[in-house]
Structure 1
């Protein structure tokens, strides 16, 4: 990320030479005003922001025209993920967020990066993080790369009044009383996965299985069932398409967005548009079928779509159309169900299985808890809430391997965080992964797997500080966190009832981000059937 001052000076001289030519041409063509805006956004404003940040003690690389630190960040991330980790260590920060770690190591905790022409301040103080997350109207989520919007929008990306409206309408679908009706769907999806494993693993013996794709499919199947009920077969196609789209979106996130680039008829852009069209047409067909059924007096159903439509219709009846969602809004929320609903659960389950394969004592304790609570019976909603040890294990897994490594917000006007004055247009990066692995916070064993940290719950473990952020925090905390934890408990209980598992010699430890934190080379485990 380092660039010497001579290189910076040469870059500046080159820029001003080109700028002079552009100004002359622009004035001659009557484009002076537009050109001045470009110059301001690409040079004048970034340099002013940099000056203000440095005056407050922040440090970082000098601003570099247009790309900022993007080239260095891309190089670091490519180098970090070019090969698997040499050991099964949980020290994954250098691999997952090498750019942020490099900045902190070089400049200290008060530092910043350049996302193109936008300064991104790294925030590591728990009190500052708590303030930022609580003041969600002041510190909003940064504008998304337009290429990302093809994957999902929905309540997770909206701001202000629109966010408040959607959150209000969606909340009823994730109430605990509604979630218990989804437990049978979780069971069916996991049973389908285990029936496949039953055929793969011999009756007497063991077998190596890459469990990652199966867990992804299971989680996608579960969200298909819980979101669309009887239409889940159609929903499966949406899941497959969204999975392909997520890979393309991640590629877009790792490069500078050039305005208008998404309209170029490239092969990738054409494919992304085709996926959007098929996803939205499939969802529209499912939604219209449900609306028609409701109009003729049928029940709205206990799935997420039915609960959302019922909540929306009630709001429109009571307060008018402007207080409800449009059909397009409902489609976007359904797309979000897929993205958030399966990615987080699959990520949690795969890292849990990997860590329990390494720490077999905890695997045995978890299996014993399942036997005591369920025996060999089908788990039910009330009993799932009795799995205290497995809950502790999940919290520790999410600490070491959070689904999302970094949270971000942005200022739209000059704002204060504690004693800091943050200029308008600055991103605020809150690296959850760094906080979760910080020895000053969690002790010398911060990188060790120790679920006992959470034996008295999250609040006791964190002492009320904003240092544990697997689902975000503040009013915008993930609405589906209880959904994800409930599904994961069902799946883990059923797996532990039927199998013991250990790491295969072919397992390569390689966490990387594709929207969520995933095993780059799969999760190759050796499964052994259990016979009572």
Structure 2
């Protein structure tokens, strides 16, 4: 009996100790959160009042639910909604608070404090911020770990700086020009497929859903450049990464750190996490198999992964384990950033060009004038001014990346703004790109001519044009993406004319990037 009572007493003491420890941790977090809020309030920064435990999460859920009820019917014709600002549908709480508190406000998700920063002057300061005190928000990068590993898109601090030094050189414009031939080769099967489809319809016009074909094209380009092989051999990698992307996007709290323990508490969430872990292991195994196979082939033509591997192994400050993880993780990063975002941008381009066929005519005329046999090359691409204007306008209206996000790892000064350590900053790119005060009263309209004299003359604050991000973390693949878009669009437009299908349903969706929720269907005919 005494032993039983003693065990019961010990258990009670242990429970009290655990409870006390959790209470202490909570109090410390709470005090720190309040201290951070005070530092922001004294600078005149306001925001929605938070609840005791959950911050503004209940408000976000309520506003999101109301926005779903008000959303236009998916059966409505596309023309009515192509020009609308979709951020009010995808991120309604941010837009709701922007209208109430302006371009700089604060809100919280539990203990995490956030700053919404869409003030052009502060965006410029962010663009020029070069220290490592700002990095990717840790809770976001933790969610993305299965998909991106510790590659350059997810890394912070000295690890990011080191990887950037190794990767950046492989995407300088002189290197990208040497990839144009691969891009042209990858576009030819797409053209043949569409020609054959039109012939099979026994008509001059056929309806084609283009987004999956553009994904296949972009995946083939990345596969050839990374490993020197065609898309068919890397297809499994892409399919598994795409599945991981979809599962992560469905998880609650992807953007704002909600539900950190849900994977342990709910069977459905735990099942999703197990699926992600399995896919992560399979992707890593497949990529390394491709690396090893490519090394055995001893080809005289070195692909991107071989060049990166040589760069990593020649660095005496890192070991063999780093070289392997560096290659696998950055391969996943390049696959996602170089494949998914470019394909989505090309899909949005065909959607808008389908609505505005007069711009197809202008591009077609330039391609005929400057490109031998209608096929662009590295020398003719810079001469396609109309195509360049169109791509810039597409990326303004539908930038694949919705946010520039940063976390302050130390107390940080950005212009006249003092950002306390631990605060996450969010810049909503589509809102910047559609602000009438920056772009004029026609900000929601498709007008590529605004870029006729380049980005610097296109708007009041050029630093707010950020389809590839901001500052030192500007997308390293910017040159690659622009060249690939020019190549595929020039080839498509020189071979086909098209209009947007009446069945197209305009429904931008956020799945880590902003993509057409129901794909893009066009009516296409061979020229």
Specify which of 78, 84, 88 is matched with residue 82 of structure 2.
88
What CA deviation, in whole Å up to 9, does each residue of 1:85-134 have, x standing for no partner?
A: 75332422312332211110122223122233212111122221222233
- Counterpart in the other structure of 1:4: none
Q: Does 1:40 align with 2:28?
A: yes
Does the 8 A contact of 2:132 with 2:158 survive in 1? no
- Counterpart in the other structure of 1:329: 326
1:366-515 paired onto structure 2 within 5 Å = 366-374=363-371, 376-462=373-459, 465-515=462-512
Does the 8 A contact of 1:231 with 1:286 survive in 2? no
Number of residues of Structure 1 aligned to a counterpart in Structure 2? 499
Distance 2:143 2:262 in 1: 9
Tell me the CA shift for residue 497 of structure 1: 1.2
Consecutive unaligned residues in structure 1, runs of 5 or more: 1-23
Tell me the CA shift for residue 328 of structure 1: 1.2
Specify which of 166, 171, 177 is matched with residue 169 of structure 1.
166
- Counterpart in the other structure of 2:306: 306
- Are the structure 2 counterparts of residues 234 and 64 from structure 1 closer, same or farther at C-alpha, using a change threshold of 3 Å? farther
What's the secondary structure of 2:285's corresponding residue? Answer: helix
TM-score (norm 2): 0.88
Task: Give the stretch that moved more between structures: 206-215 or 179-188.
Answer: 179-188
Tell me the CA shift for residue 79 of structure 1: 5.5
What's the secondary structure of 2:463's corresponding residue? Answer: coil
1:72-83 paired onto structure 2 within 5 Å = 72-77=59-64, 80=67, 83=73
Distance 2:65 2:154 in 1: 28
Tell me the CA shift for residue 188 of structure 1: 2.2
1:18-29 paired onto structure 2 within 5 Å = 28-29=16-17
What CA deviation, in whole Å up to 9, does each residue of 1:282-321 have, x standing for no partner?
A: 0111122334455xxx53x3422122123223x32xx443
- Counterpart in the other structure of 2:144: 148
Consecutive unaligned residues in structure 2, runs of 5 or more: 1-11
Instruction: Quote the RMSD (CA, aligned, Å).
Output: 2.5
What's the secondary structure of 2:506's corresponding residue? Answer: coil
Specify which of 260, 278, 281 is matched with residue 282 of structure 2.
278
Specify which of 46, 60, 63 is matched with residue 59 of structure 1.
46
Distance 1:129 1:214 in 2: 36
Q: Does 1:106 align with 2:106?
A: no
Task: Give the stretch that moved more between structures: 507-516 or 179-188.
Answer: 179-188
What CA deviation, in whole Å up to 9, does each residue of 1:364-404 have, x standing for no partner?
A: 11121112122534322211222111011111111111111
1:195-274 paired onto structure 2 within 5 Å = 195-202=192-199, 204-230=203-229, 232-252=231-251, 253=254, 256-259=257-260, 261-262=262-263, 266-274=270-278
Does the 8 A contact of 1:211 with 1:523 survive in 2? yes
- Are the structure 2 counterparts of residues 74 and 343 from structure 1 closer, same or farther at C-alpha, using a change threshold of 3 Å? farther
Distance 1:167 1:462 in 2: 30
What's the secondary structure of 1:466's corresponding residue? Answer: helix
Distance 2:121 2:477 in 1: 25
Distance 1:177 1:125 in 2: 35
Distance 2:419 2:234 in 1: 44
Task: Give the stretch that moved more between structures: 380-389 or 72-81.
Answer: 72-81
What's the secondary structure of 2:178's corresponding residue? Answer: helix
- Counterpart in the other structure of 2:6: none
Distance 1:156 1:87 in 2: 32
What CA deviation, in whole Å up to 9, does each residue of 1:31-69 have, x standing for no partner?
A: 53443112332x333333233323322222222244333
What CA deviation, in whole Å up to 9, does each residue of 1:415-454 have, x standing for no partner?
A: 2222222222111111111111111111111111111111
- Counterpart in the other structure of 1:18: none
- Are the structure 2 counterparts of residues 370 and 73 from structure 1 closer, same or farther at C-alpha, using a change threshold of 3 Å? farther
What's the secondary structure of 2:288's corresponding residue? Answer: helix
- Counterpart in the other structure of 1:7: none
- Are the structure 2 counterparts of residues 321 and 110 from structure 1 closer, same or farther at C-alpha, using a change threshold of 3 Å? closer
What's the secondary structure of 1:446's corresponding residue? Answer: coil
Distance 1:32 1:348 in 2: 52
- Counterpart in the other structure of 1:131: 125
Distance 1:434 1:94 in 2: 9
What's the secondary structure of 2:221's corresponding residue? Answer: helix
